[in-house]
Structure 1
């Protein structure tokens, strides 16, 4: 169940109410006239089944409500309502499987903002990964994977392609490139300092590292893991069930590969640089392709369900 809070210009309120009243996915509507001061207009609130949210939101966007007013979409964690239960029964599809595209797009824009917080997490994660490689610690590698914020930007690439958002595509690509370049540069400087004071030596980079060797040795399994992890991550983002997202962060070696690139640059070890760069590109490519494919399938499925919902609305109106 979702809760809509709409600040509607008065001239559009009747159309907004007509849309909500006509939809079988809506279980409750309330309106307060002249309640909104900025923007000037009315306050409309409604409870809707998650499965029918896209059609309602798209209609409100087509009306232009978001231009002079606003549309807030909030998940309802717990609710008791017979009419809500009946609205979910009337609306084809599953609440857990439904994709609210406005929410997905908003999250993608938020996750691809190139800000100090994002760069800080990227820098700290890459630095932690380089330390983990030097001491050959799988525990620290996992910590670096969890700390890295790059998955949101990678998933946004798929959202941009499926939803045809070129601005988001450019924004996500820029965030990824700048984030990895700056984090590798910062970590390289740290490693150079550590090398100068004798904390890290060449044997730490070229010697046997049985626990972390996979970072610079990409193979077919690297790509397969990236594909599975990205598909699971996208499903966690788009679905009402989000339990699988943490598994993505400890599955794909993007940040650890970046950390090893920094070590290779600091010590001039070409094999480490090349192997880790290939691992990084392989993982990002696999995740981006899998994210796009997962979203494309979801959009195709929900397009067919939208046709079923349109038929359900016609039946509902004819009663």
Structure 2
């Protein structure tokens, strides 16, 4: 279940209430007359079955409440109520399969912005990957995968392309275009300094090691990236967000960036080149698969809309 709050101009409150009462997927409708201060108006609260949320939010946006008032959504972990159970039963489909598009836009928009925190996480992740490569530690490389924040902008690229939100597309592309080069340059400088003072031995990467999979790009790399992108977008568009951890540790984006810098400092330009190619293959595969998942889910949801009951009957 989701909890919706809407700040509504008084002259539109009755219309909004009627809309919410008529929908089969709503429960616990509450109205606070004159409770909203900025902007002024009435406060409406209602619990929604997740599979009904997208239609309800679109209907409220059609009343321009997103402009004249405000609409917020938050997840409910527990709802002990026969009315809530009835709403979930009446709403078509399964909650885990439902996509709340406004929620997805808000989430990807927030996670795709380039800022100091995003850059710091990416730098730390690349440094962890570099240390894992130098010490031949797969565990450290996996840790770098988990720390890396790059899936947010990659998901935003897919969402922006499918929904034609060019502002989101530009924002995500800028985060990646700035974030990775800055992180790689910083990582290269730290590795070079560490190699000069004897903390790191970049020459150790020459030979066969457990972490060589990072730069060994091939068809399997693209397949893994496709699978990870599909799983990641399924997790973001459903209630199965815990699956994102598996996505983070299945692709070699950050590790490839870190390996490239270590190989460059060591003078192993062939490995550095393959690592950059690995990075590119993973980025493209993730975005492509994520976009395909979004297209398929959007088509399925539109088909379901044709059969969706509009009221409690």
Q: TM-score, normalised by structure 2?
A: 0.97
Structure 2: unaligned runs, 5 residues or longer: none
Match of 1:96 in 2: 96
1:202 is displaced (CA, Å) by: 4.9
Match of 2:41 in 1: 41
Residues 260, 275 of structure 2: 8 Å contact kept: yes
> Once the two structures are superposed, what CA deviation does each residue of 1:203-230 show, in whole Å capped at 9, x if it has no partner?
223x114211111110111111111111
- Distance in 2, matches of 1:250 and 1:223, equals 15
- Distance in 2, matches of 1:97 and 1:14, equals 31
Match of 2:197 in 1: 197
Q: Is 1:313 aligned to residue 307 of structure 2? A: no
Match of 2:25 in 1: 25
Match of 2:2 in 1: 2
Structure 1: unaligned runs, 5 residues or longer: none
Residues 233, 248 of structure 1: 8 Å contact kept: yes
1:81 is displaced (CA, Å) by: 1.3
Match of 2:58 in 1: 58
- Distance in 2, matches of 1:163 and 1:202, equals 45
Q: Counterparts in 2 of 1:291-310, with a 5 A limit?
A: 291-309=290-308
> Once the two structures are superposed, what CA deviation does each residue of 1:49-76 show, in whole Å capped at 9, x if it has no partner?
1111111101111211111211110111
Which SS does the other structure have where 2:241 is aligned? coil
Q: Counterparts in 2 of 1:71-86, with a 5 A limit?
A: 71-86=71-86
- Distance in 2, matches of 1:12 and 1:261, equals 58
- Distance in 2, matches of 1:163 and 1:21, equals 30
- Distance in 1, matches of 2:81 and 2:193, equals 63
Q: Counterparts in 2 of 1:1-319, with a 5 A limit?
A: 1-205=1-205, 207-309=206-308, 312-313=309-310, 316=312, 319=313
- Distance in 2, matches of 1:5 and 1:33, equals 13
> Once the two structures are superposed, what CA deviation does each residue of 1:113-139 show, in whole Å capped at 9, x if it has no partner?
111111000000001101110111101
- Distance in 2, matches of 1:173 and 1:296, equals 20
- Distance in 1, matches of 2:43 and 2:201, equals 65
> Once the two structures are superposed, what CA deviation does each residue of 1:276-312 show, in whole Å capped at 9, x if it has no partner?
0100000000000000001111111111112211xx1
RMSD: 1.3
Q: TM-score, normalised by structure 1?
A: 0.95
Aligned pair count reads: 313
Which SS does the other structure have where 2:136 is aligned? coil
- Distance in 2, matches of 1:214 and 1:65, equals 52
Going from structure 1 to structure 2, the CA distance change for 1:266 and 1:203 (only over 3 Å counts) comes to closer
